[in-house]
Structure 1
Amino acid sequence: MIASGFFIAGALVCLASVVISVIATIFRNHPDDVAILSVAAVELFLIVYSIAAAARQLGGEALVGEAWEFWGYVFTALIVPVAAFWWAVTDKTRWSNLVLAAVGATVFVMLVRMEQIWQGGVFA
């Protein structure tokens, strides 16, 4: 299996979010706009990914795994950045940045699993 463009784009967005949030943890005592916006970029990617996945599935492209499992991952992944954002705006400490960093790592793992369910192959 060759990684799809969506997977590569998602991996890059997640990596950028993790790096930005870890740097913010090191240098800032509270979540800054850049760290919060990096998590917003992850959420925006997930929205685009879910719309594209729905279009692909409605267009007849079949999943290798179960559809309920794939969509469960998609909906859960959509909730993770929102929860971290809420945490960051209510808890103004250095460690909120680390929570924001966990979003990128968590969503990346979920993207790997979504690729396994969608295509199978090397990631399976």
Structure 2
Amino acid sequence: MILWFTFVQIGVATAGGLLCIVLGLAGRRPSDLSVGAMALLELLLIAQIVIAIVAPLAGNPPTGSLLEFWVYLVSAALLPLAGVAWALLERSRWSTVILGIAALSVAIMLWRMQVIWTVQVA
């Protein structure tokens, strides 16, 4: 993983998550803003999948469990999709809060993936 890209992803996930939680608690239903924040996060996660495929070939292999890393990455990539699907099916203020919780969960998972990639020794 690339450290600066991980920080960008965590920043986007945290900002999007807090935005969605604030919008949801203010009574706003899912909108282009909240769903767009999740779409941006999903694009960054797709880029991370490409980076995770290319990095070992470029001489940057993970030091931790590769299986654990990929389980985190695939799960993190599915969370925004599941949150948006929920928000489109149940268009209430709580759906927007769920989008925020999903984004904050992805931020935590991204940090764990960075630790698996760089700190642990298998």
The reply to whether TM is greater than 0.5 is yes
Partners of 1:52 and 1:118 lie apart in 2 by 12
Query: Number of aligned pairs?
Result: 119
Counterpart residue identity of residue 54, structure 1: I
TM-fit CA distance, 1:28 = 3.5
Q: Cα deviations across residues 67-87 of structure 1 (Å, max 9, x unaligned)?
A: 111111111111101100100
Partners of 2:10 and 2:32 lie apart in 1 by 21
Counterpart residue identity of residue 47, structure 1: I
TM-fit CA distance, 1:11 = 1.2
**How many percent of aligned residue pairs carry the same amino acid?**
29
TM-fit CA distance, 1:97 = 0.6
Retained in 2: the 8 A contact 1:77–1:110?
Answer: yes
Match of 1:24 in 2: 23
TM-fit CA distance, 1:26 = 3.0
Alignment TM-score, normalising by the size of structure 2? 0.90
The gaps in structure 1 that reach 5 residues or longer are none
Alignment TM-score, normalising by the size of structure 1? 0.89
Further displaced range: 56-65 or 36-45: 56-65
The gaps in structure 2 that reach 5 residues or longer are none
3-state SS of paired residue (1:96) = helix
Partners of 2:116 and 2:28 lie apart in 1 by 39
Match of 1:60 in 2: 59
